[in-house]
Amino acid sequence: MDWTTCEEIRKGWSEDRKYRVTDERGRVFLLRVSPASLTEAKREEFQRMEECASLGIPMSHPIRMWDDGKSVYALHEWIDGSDAETVIPLKGDDSAFRYGLDAGRALRRIHTIPAPYGLEPWDEHYLRKLDRKTERYLACGLRYENDELLLAVLRSDRDCVAGRPQTFHHGDFHIGNMMIDTEEKLRIIDFNRFDYGDPWEEFNRIVWSAQASPAFASGTIAGYFEDGEIPETFWRLMRFYIASNALGSLPWAIPFGEKEILTMRNQTSEILEWYDGMQSLVPKWFEDRRTEAKGNG
């Protein structure tokens, strides 16, 4: 296709090349370009995004996909707005909690999309993955302070993943992959890390939301469980998945240098503080404002 303007976007961790493009009618889109070797994966991603859009999830809607033998192209709605992680912390706790409710409701709808038939049982898949993470962590040459607290939870709570259902995952669900559009609405972006698994594993990245805005993170959980109580099983699994993600983050950070290593060290220190050295099930930042939010409309 021919574009009247094409501006590359250099932000985020995606391996896709991203562009803000304008057509001859002045319409603006987001264009993502990936290697042709990823065509099948990108086709599946696009189809899952279409399913999400059909469920009314607030997101960048997929428009068209094509390839030319060298690259695969995906055209999406352009969202005018600001990064949620920048805007939401400035809006006050009540507003942040309400945005969190919107995020939690969206995630719950995402998880209504079933995983493909015939996947390996979740506990077999995940525990093998956890064992690899643990091996890499212990071999990487760096350690977290008080890492025995993380390792103890990962040993004692391994059985909590048994029998868990599997659904579609956004794959990287946190405030850094959301925007606030010009109408002050929350929008979900960047589905490129999609996968399938225990729906509650998606909360392993809520630490990024909690660091930016505890009220937003609280709202995300409250919105997900809007129609009922939050079960103890959820809290145990979220703590387990957060501990697992923290363990894997240090070896991941090493190739990116000291800045990312320090980020992961600081984040894990916060996690240990939130959970009282992993002795508590519910993180200190959680506050359920559901009744209050309903009262405020």
167-211 residue pLDDT tens:
999 999 999 999 999 999 999 999 999 999 999 999 999 999 999
The total domain count for the chain is: 2
Considering 78, 109, 128, which residue would you say is the last residue of a domain? 78
**Predicted local distance difference test score (pLDDT) of residue 12:** 62
Q: What is the pTM of this model?
A: 0.93
Predicted confidence band of residue 295 (pLDDT cuts 50, 70, 90) = very low
Determine the Cα–Cα distance for residues 158 and 129; give it in Å rounded to an integer.
12
* Separation between Cα atoms, residue 284 and residue 67, nearest integer Å: 48
Tell me: do 91 and 74 sit in the same domain. Answer: no
Regarding whether 16 and 91 lie in a shared domain, the answer is no
- According to the model, what pLDDT value does residue 290 have? 73
Tens-digit pLDDT profile for residues 257-293 = 999 999 999 999 999 999 999 999 999 999 987 776 5
The tokens describing 80, both together, are 């005018």
Do 235 and 143 reside in the same domain of the chain? yes
For 129-168, the pLDDT digits (tens) are 999 999 999 999 999 999 999 999 999 999 999 999 999 9
> 275 lies in which domain range?
82-295
Domain boundary among 78, 112, 143: 78
